[in-house]
């Protein structure tokens, strides 16, 4: 039995170990430009690979349904305290397993099935959990959308006057902000004023931009929103997971009271109950430990300079695309990503993604606003800088990357060009060494 408990993966399961090794090679050698990905530190991975995975801890620190939680209580408290410090907020719940789970808890708290909410159109950069007909958010609730302008001075951007008009017309119970493919910052004060005018709750899903918000590189939603949700693995550079946050906790305005005393419950209590027992069982304590480590890292001054570099690199990359005659949705970027419209280059997003992948450059095809192609083909690609900035690349490297990408996109069927670019990419990534281990 002790061998079973102490076995090393490369001995006990060479097949899986070999696959993990291949993936580490892929990450080391290739150029990772997927805007929602990042590379975590070995410390974050080490926290995940611990016996905390064995522990059941339903409930919250000090109020668990299982014994033996004295240590994991402290771990969760460290994660919560660090997150509150990082986001300058009153309350967090670090238990959601993912961004989608955190969002489920938002709907469960604020909406009843059939209620209407207003969010960013999925075809204009919104996320699946913001009302897609194949997602619970679109199945259980009535999703209505605001979008970005097609042309004119606000092309590719959200016009707050139009958001207000739509909100006044449909009177939603909730307005959501946040996106997966929107390169501009949000005007949270304007959203809050619209929400107040129509009597709606305001929710920001900052999954993509949380790290940039923590580092104060982007506007802060917390003072303006009733609830903020996030993932922890994108710009925030933690383990794959989710979290909920409230800037200033207060008594809820939905009339929810404690059953015995009649005390009006705080918003935080409602969201805590929606996470557990509302939509999850036991929290992943090993992942919560890894979140604590990542939040500790994000509290270091280094993280602010990293975040500024992420944005500087995205700006340099976008300019380089514009210089080469590419159309960039909204004409630029405020954050870590850009949406490149390939229609004037005669290739689809799918063709570009595949050709770039053959050169070991990983991007994702993406719909551009008002796209006529299907989501499986698309007219654009989404590019992002968080992962390669973690490896140490700067503005000049990103200009070189655009040069290499341009060669592939304009010659998607030319095997010689693709092999030349692949060689140049491997030379570049070798200059920025990363993981020298398979298991942390
Ligand atoms: C805006 C937004 N919300 C939520 C999510 C879902 O996060 P997860 O994949 O952790 O469920 C994503 C992921 O891409 C996202 O971009």
Q: What is the residue-wise DSSP string for 325-348? A: T-EEGGGS-SSSEEEEE-GGGT--
Band (400; pLDDT cuts 50, 70, 90) = very high
| 351 pocket-lining for ligand 1 (C-beta < 6 Å) | no
**Tokens representing residue 47 in the block:** 């926290």
Q: How far is the CA of 36 from the centre of ligand 1 (A)?
A: 8
Closest among 382, 233, 377 to 298, alpha carbons compared: 233
pLDDT at 406: 98
**Tokens representing residue 281 in the block:** 């069982």
| DSSP states of 200-250 | -EEEEE-TTTHHHHHTTSS---TTT-SEEEEESSSTT--SS-EEEEESS--
pLDDT tens string 105-132: 999 999 999 999 999 999 999 999 999 9
Task: Say whether both 344 and 280 belong to one domain.
Answer: no
pLDDT at 68: 98
pLDDT at 1: 63
Relative to the CA of 126, which ligand 1 atom is closest?
Answer: 1
Domain final residue, candidates 249, 279, 298: 298
Q: Is residue 353 part of a domain?
A: yes
| 208 pocket-lining for ligand 1 (C-beta < 6 Å) | yes
Domain final residue, candidates 252, 271, 298: 298
Within 111-209, residue ranges assigned H as helices are 136-140, 160-170, 188-198
pLDDT tens string 191-247: 999 999 999 999 999 999 999 999 999 999 999 999 999 999 999 999 999 999 999
Band (356; pLDDT cuts 50, 70, 90) = very high
What is the residue with the minimal CA distance to atom 16 of ligand 1?
180
pLDDT at 141: 98
Task: Say whether both 232 and 359 belong to one domain.
Answer: no
Q: Is residue 237 part of a domain?
A: yes
Q: What is the mean pLDDT of residues 410-435?
A: 98
Query: In the block, which residue shows the tokens 């997966």?
Result: 180
Tally of domains within the chain: 2
Report whether pLDDT(402) > 80: yes
Relative to the CA of 233, which ligand 1 atom is closest?
Answer: 10
Catalytic annotation present for 56: yes
Domain final residue, candidates 251, 276, 298: 298
List Cα–Cα distances, 59 to 62, 67, 96, 264, in angstroms.
Answer: 8, 11, 12, 21
Task: Say whether both 116 and 182 belong to one domain.
Answer: yes
Q: CB neighbours (10 Å) of residue 325?
A: 9
Task: Say whether both 285 and 331 belong to one domain.
Answer: no
Task: Say whether both 218 and 317 belong to one domain.
Answer: no
Report whether pLDDT(389) > 80: yes
Q: What is the mean pLDDT of residues 44-51?
A: 98
Q: Is residue 90 part of a domain?
A: yes
Cα–chain-centroid distance for residue 166?
A: 26
Closest among 277, 226, 275, 220 to 249, alpha carbons compared: 226
pLDDT tens string 317-342: 999 999 999 999 999 999 999 999 99
8 A C-beta contact, residue 115 and residue 142: yes
- Where residue 334 falls (left for φ over 0; alpha for ψ -120 to 50; beta otherwise) is alpha
Q: Is residue 124 part of a domain?
A: yes
Q: Is residue 440 part of a domain?
A: no
Q: Is residue 233 part of a domain?
A: yes
Q: Is residue 39 part of a domain?
A: no
Task: Say whether both 274 and 411 belong to one domain.
Answer: no
Band (3; pLDDT cuts 50, 70, 90) = confident
Which of 97, 100, 205, 284 most suits a substitution to test ligand 1, by most atoms within 8 Å of the C-beta?
100
DSSP designation for 276:
I
| 209 pocket-lining for ligand 1 (C-beta < 6 Å) | no
What is the residue with the minimal CA distance to atom 3 of ligand 1?
207
Task: Say whether both 141 and 252 belong to one domain.
Answer: yes
**Tokens representing residue 59 in the block:** 């409930």
Q: How far is the CA of 104 from the centre of ligand 1 (A)?
A: 11
Helix (H) or strand (E) holding 314, with range, is helix 301-323
Pick the catalytic residue from 209, 230, 231, 232: 231
The CA distance from 200 to 182, in Å, is 23
Task: Say whether both 256 and 137 belong to one domain.
Answer: yes
Within 88-187, residue ranges assigned H as helices are 99-110, 136-140, 160-170
Mean pLDDT score of the chain = 97
Closest among 293, 285, 238 to 51, alpha carbons compared: 285
**Tokens representing residue 364 in the block:** 């994702």
Q: Is residue 142 part of a domain?
A: yes
| DSSP states of 383-430 | EE-HHHHHHT--HHHHHHHHHHHHHHHTSTT-HHHHHHHHHHHHHHHH
Report whether pLDDT(2) > 90: no
DSSP designation for 123:
G
Task: Say whether both 75 and 192 belong to one domain.
Answer: yes
Pick the catalytic residue from 157, 164, 240, 343: 240
Task: Say whether both 268 and 200 belong to one domain.
Answer: yes
Task: Say whether both 117 and 85 belong to one domain.
Answer: yes
Report whether pLDDT(25) > 80: yes
Q: Percent of the chain scored above 90 by pLDDT?
A: 99
Backbone Cα Rg of the chain = 22
Any idea what the CATH number is for the domain that residue 273 is in? 3.40.640.10
Catalytic annotation present for 55: no
Relative to the CA of 36, which ligand 1 atom is closest?
Answer: 14
Q: What is the mean pLDDT of residues 401-418?
A: 98
Any idea what the CATH number is for the domain that residue 419 is in? 3.90.1150.10
Contacts of 46 (CB under 8 A, 6+ apart): 440
Catalytic annotation present for 25: no
Task: Say whether both 166 and 308 belong to one domain.
Answer: no
Which residues constitute the domain of residue 186? 51-298
């Amino acid at each position: 039995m002790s061998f079973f408990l102490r076995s090393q993966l490369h001995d006990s399961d060479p097949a899986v170990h070999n696959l993990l090794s291949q993936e580490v090679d892929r990450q080391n050698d290739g150029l990772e430009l997927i805007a929602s990905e990042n590379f975590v530190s070995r410390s974050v991975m080490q926290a995940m690979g611990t016996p905390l995975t064995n522990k059941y801890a339903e409930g919250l620190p000090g109020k668990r349904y299982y014994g033996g939680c004295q240590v994991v209580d402290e771990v969760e408290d460290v994660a919560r305290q660090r997150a509150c410090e990082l986001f300058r907020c009153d309350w967090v719940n670090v238990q959601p397993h993912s961004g989608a789970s955190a969002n489920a808890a938002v709907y469960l708290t604020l909406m009843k099935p059939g209620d209407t909410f207003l969010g960013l159109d999925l075809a204009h950069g919104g996320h699946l959990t913001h009302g897609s007909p194949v997602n619970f958010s679109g199945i259980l609730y009535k999703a209505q959308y605001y979008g970005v302008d097609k042309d004119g001075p606000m092309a590719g951007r959200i016009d707050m006057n139009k958001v207000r008009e739509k909100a006044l017309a449909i009177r939603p119970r909730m307005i959501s902000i946040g996106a997966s493919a929107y390169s501009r910052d949000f005007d949270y004060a304007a959203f809050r004023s619209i929400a107040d005018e129509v009597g709606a709750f305001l929710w920001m899903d900052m999954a993509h931009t949380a790290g940039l918000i923590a580092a104060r590189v982007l506007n802060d939603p917390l003072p303006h929103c009733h609830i903020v949700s996030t993932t922890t693995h994108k710009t925030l550079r933690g383990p794959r997971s989710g979290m909920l946050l409230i800037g200033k906790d207060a008594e809820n305005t939905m009339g929810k009271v404690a059953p015995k005393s009649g005390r009006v419950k705080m918003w935080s209590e409602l969201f805590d109950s929606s996470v557990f027992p509302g939509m999850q069982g036991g929290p992943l304590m090993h992942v919560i430990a890894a979140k604590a480590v990542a939040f500790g890292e994000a509290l270091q001054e280094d993280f602010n300079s990293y975040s500024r570099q992420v944005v500087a690199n995205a700006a340099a990359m976008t300019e380089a695309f514009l210089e080469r005659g590419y159309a960039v949705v909204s004409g630029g970027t405020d954050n870590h990503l850009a949406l490149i419209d390939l229609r004037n280059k005669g290739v689809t997003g799918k063709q570009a993604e595949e050709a770039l992948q053959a050169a070991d450059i990983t991007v994702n095809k993406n719909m551009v606003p008002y796209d006529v192609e299907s989501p499986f083909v698309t007219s654009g690609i989404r590019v992002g800088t968080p992962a390669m900035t973690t490896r140490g690349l700067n503005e000049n490297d990103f200009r070189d990357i655009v040069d290499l990408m341009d060669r592939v996109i304009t010659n998607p069927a030319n095997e010689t060009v693709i092999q030349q670019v692949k060689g140049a990419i491997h030379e570049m990534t070798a200059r920025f060494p990363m993981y020298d281990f398979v298991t942390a």
